[in-house]
Amino acid sequence: MSKSPVQPVLDRRTLLRLAGAAALGGVPLAAKASGPGPVATKARIVIAGGGAAGLAVAARLSRLVTGATITVVDRRKEHFYQPGFTLVAAGLKPAGYVVSSTAEYIPAGVTLVEERVAEFDPEGNKVVTESGQALPYDFLVVATGLQLDYAAIEGMDTALIGRDGIGSVYAGPEAAEATWREMSRFADTGGVGLFLRPNTEMKCAGAPLKYTFITDDYLRRRGNRAKAELVYAANNKSLFSVPIVSEKVRMLFQDRGVKVAYDHVMTAIDPGRKVATFKTPDGPAEIKYDFVNVIPPMRAPEAVRNSPLGWRQGPWAADGWMEVDKATLRHMRYPNVFGVGDVAGVPKGKTAASVKWQVPVAVDHLVASLAGQTATSVYNGYTSCPLITRLGRAMLVEFDYQNNLTPSFPGVIAPLEELWITWVMKTMALKPTYIAMLRGQA
Amino acid sequence: MKDLDPLVFYVVFSEMLGPLLWVLALLAVGGLIAFAAVLRCDGGLVSKRLVRSELIGILGGFAALALMAWVTLSGFSDAGGPVDWLLIGVIWGIGLVGTTILAYTAQGLWDRYHGKACARAD
């Protein structure tokens, strides 16, 4: 991943702006000192996005403040458990395994507006929905997630997923299931299996690797590995942003006979000829495929990209990721705005695990602001990836902003070992932990 | 997984098992109480019954492993390191001990139900 730009902590000017914004919005900054018990406030808090991050923020906030008007804005009625998409695309779980409803996680007292945010106006302290409804706020939490930009790949359309060897695990539950059907057919026939990742920030950068390993395993189980060639097209010169993990994956790919094409960024697909085109340092290169797991470029949603909330310079400016302090998730220029989850322009982690550790920090700082105090909690970039290396085994990779491995069970569960216990955690414990997070219980 | 809080464990298990968590907890507590009652009645362990229960317990250990494999979509060749074998041992052990206690208790209660007096433990 890209290196981190310099991100100062909250300075005096920012604090003054925060105080100003709060005063203009009529927020009783020192309504009640934060400490035991919820903070009493009349603040209007808008949460843009009702995915994992938005719901977790809503749940946590509703426990820590009283009297506030909390509004979640999200058009999608369904909630997707995205860490389960890989299991669906591996034929291990049905599409229904990852689908529930947003409404069932909305805490009591929190309002859900089932609309898309069309405009962010941080100068005017309001968001505007697609129907033109203006929602003024004293504090805004942006948790809109990201946009899968399939249109950026010439010839690609989500309607192609599940046909003629084209899969794409990320596009949704049905797409994940359709991807499984195509991959399973490929595991029966063999040919060239093509895997890749985009040259942008992306959610769960381990997922493309996992799916390569899973496909390899299915080919072996069906006795067709010799009939197949697996190619992984890496967007740069590494396989994972954490060097020690990248090296481990390189060794595993070598062991499994997966060929790696470095510096290959997919630009086009020709479904008729079954050829994918890549941008490489030596010019365009074509790779024929019999099965391909297309992963599109990922960007901040359009409304965020068109707003003043994104980075104005540096590696995250082009795709509109939010300019937030990587330690507090507070916006660098609008101190009453926070960005959590995929949309945050921070060096690591667009995963549910990131959300789990970002949300308490962002909420802590928000609640402290409501109480007229300053929070000290810090998000160190922790994220985790149960990197499946075959059906039944995974590596529990946990790391932080500095590419340190941060194992939860040092000496017991080795982070770079392919273990059944990690697979057990992935299949049994992860979804309940995730749901508990949405409910603000974990 | 940065901080391991017992309450989080409870919440996760509750989310994982739903009402079954309480059924299992009640089964465990009820089984132990009934086991204690049978022990008290007999004045100790009845060897013959214990051996029979242990044999059933061995099968119970394997049943626990089979259940775990089913729930986690796993096969029998997935263990990859020492901690996996430890986990397999723990699961098998829990199945063994749980099934042994339940089998012993069930036999004791069966005897009472059929009007047999408390056995005299030797």
Per-residue pLDDT tens over the stretch B79-101: 999 999 999 999 999 999 999 99
| Structural domains counted in chain A | 2
A410 interfacial to chain B (CB closer than 8 Å): no
Q: In this model, does residue A237 exceed pLDDT 70?
A: yes
Burial A305-316 (b: 16+ CB within 10 A, else e): eebebbbeebbb
- Tell me whether residues A420 and B73 touch, CB distance under 8 A: no
**Residues of chain A with C-beta less than 8 angstroms from the C-beta of B6:** none
A197 interfacial to chain B (CB closer than 8 Å): no
What is the C-alpha to C-alpha distance for residues A13 and A23, in angstroms, rounded to an integer?
15
Q: In this model, does residue A36 exceed pLDDT 70?
A: no
- How confident is the model over A270-287, as pLDDT tens digits? 999 999 999 999 999 999
Residue at a domain's end among A251, A279, A298: A298
Residue A15's pLDDT is what? 38
Indicate the domain borders of chain B. Answer: 6-113
Contacts of A97 (CB under 8 A, 6+ apart): A81, A84, A87, A88
Closest-CA residue of B relative to A406 is: B2
What is the C-alpha to C-alpha distance for residues A212 and A389, in angstroms, rounded to an integer?
9
What is the C-alpha to C-alpha distance for residues B88 and B83, in angstroms, rounded to an integer?
9
- Tell me whether residues B83 and A421 touch, CB distance under 8 A: yes
**Same domain for A251 and A359:** no
Q: Band of the pLDDT at B76, cuts 50, 70, 90? A: confident
**Same domain for A324 and A207:** no
Please give the residue range of the domain that contains residue A101.
Answer: 12-146+301-370
**Same domain for A243 and A337:** no
What does DSSP say about strands A139-142 and A337-339: parallel, antiparallel, or unpaired?
parallel
Do residues A145 and A47 touch, judged by C-beta distance below 8 A?
no
Q: In this model, does residue A165 exceed pLDDT 90?
A: yes
**Residues of chain B with C-beta less than 8 angstroms from the C-beta of A406:** 2
- How confident is the model over A99-126, as pLDDT tens digits? 999 999 999 999 999 999 999 999 999 9
What is the C-alpha to C-alpha distance for residues A401 and A418, in angstroms, rounded to an integer?
23
What is the C-alpha to C-alpha distance for residues A17 and B20, in angstroms, rounded to an integer?
52
Q: In this model, does residue A27 exceed pLDDT 70?
A: no
**Residues of chain A with C-beta less than 8 angstroms from the C-beta of B68:** 424
Residue A63 lies in a domain: yes
Determine the angle formed by the axes of helices A207-221 and A173-189, rounding to 10 degrees.
40
Q: How far from each other are the two terminal CA atoms of chain B, in whole angstroms?
A: 50
Q: In this model, does residue A158 exceed pLDDT 70?
A: yes
What is the C-alpha to C-alpha distance for residues A300 and A311, in angstroms, rounded to an integer?
11
Q: Residue A204: left if φ>0, alpha if ψ -120 to 50, beta else—which one?
A: left
**Residues of chain B with C-beta less than 8 angstroms from the C-beta of A414:** 81, 83
The alpha carbons of chain A give a radius of gyration, in whole angstroms, of 22
Q: Band of the pLDDT at A14, cuts 50, 70, 90? A: very low
Q: Rounded to 5 degrees, what are φ and ψ at B114?
A: -90, 20
What is the C-alpha to C-alpha distance for residues A311 and A313, in angstroms, rounded to an integer?
6
Structure tokens at B60: 């119970």
Do residues A299 and A305 touch, judged by C-beta distance below 8 A?
yes
- Tell me whether residues B87 and A424 touch, CB distance under 8 A: yes
Option in B4, B14, B75 nearest A392 (CB)? B75
B82 interfacial to chain A (CB closer than 8 Å): no
Q: What value does the mean pLDDT of chain B take? A: 88
A94 interfacial to chain B (CB closer than 8 Å): no
Give the minimum alpha-carbon distance from B95 to chain A in angstroms, rounded to a whole number: 17
Residue B3's pLDDT is what? 54
Q: What is the largest CA-CA distance in chain A?
A: 69
- Tell me whether residues B77 and A424 touch, CB distance under 8 A: no
Residue A35's pLDDT is what? 53
- How confident is the model over B101-111, as pLDDT tens digits? 999 999 999 98
Q: Rounded to 5 degrees, what are φ and ψ at A79?
A: -110, 135
User: How does DSSP assign A371-438, residue by residue?
Assistant: TT----------EEEEEEEETTEEEEEEE-TT--B--SSTTTS-TTS-BHHHHHIIIIIHHHHHHHHH
Residue A267 lies in a domain: yes
Active site residues of A: 204, 385
**Residues of chain A with C-beta less than 8 angstroms from the C-beta of B75:** 391-392
Strand partners, A284: A279
Option in A391, A393, A441 nearest B11 (CB)? A441
Residue A251 lies in a domain: yes
What is the C-alpha to C-alpha distance for residues A309 and A333, in angstroms, rounded to an integer?
8
- Tell me whether residues A392 and B13 touch, CB distance under 8 A: no
User: Please, where are the H alpha helices in chain B?
Assistant: 6-17, 20-42, 47-71, 82-113
B67 interfacial to chain A (CB closer than 8 Å): no
Residue at a domain's end among A298, A329, A351: A298
Q: What is the DSSP letter of B117?
A: P
Residue at a domain's end among A298, A323, A346: A298
Q: In this model, does residue A13 exceed pLDDT 50?
A: no
Structure tokens at B105: 């208790």
**Residues of chain A with C-beta less than 8 angstroms from the C-beta of B74:** 392, 420, 423-424, 427
Long-range contacts of A147-151 (CB under 8 A, 24+ apart): A147/A298, A147/A299, A147/A300, A147/A301, A147/A302, A148/A296, A148/A298, A149/A296, A149/A297, A149/A298, A149/A299, A150/A294, A150/A296
Handedness of CA A102, A103, A108, A114 (dihedral sign): positive
What is the C-alpha to C-alpha distance for residues A51 and A80, in angstroms, rounded to an integer?
8
Contacts of B35 (CB under 8 A, 6+ apart): B101, B104, B105, B108
Residue A269's pLDDT is what? 98
Judged by DSSP in three states, A162 sits in coil
What is the C-alpha to C-alpha distance for residues A62 and A48, in angstroms, rounded to an integer?
15
Q: What's the angle, vertex CA A87, arms to CA A83 and CA A90, rounded to 5? A: 140
Q: What is the ipTM of this complex?
A: 0.84
User: Please, where are the H alpha helices in A190-315?
Assistant: 207-221, 243-256, 302-305
Q: In this model, does residue A18 exceed pLDDT 60?
A: no
Do residues A173 and A98 touch, judged by C-beta distance below 8 A?
yes
Residue A1's pLDDT is what? 37
Q: What value does the mean pLDDT of chain A take? A: 92
Residue B6's pLDDT is what? 78
- Please state the rounded mean pLDDT for residues A64-74: 97
Residue A25's pLDDT is what? 35
**Same domain for A196 and A312:** no
**Hey, which residues 34-73 in chain A have their CB within 8 Å of chain B?**
none
Residue B120's pLDDT is what? 64
Entry pTM: 0.88
Q: Give the CATH number of the domain where residue A41 resides.
A: 3.50.50.60
B90 interfacial to chain A (CB closer than 8 Å): no
CA-nearest of A141, A137, A136, A119 to A128 is A119
Residue B11's pLDDT is what? 82
**Same domain for A309 and A290:** no
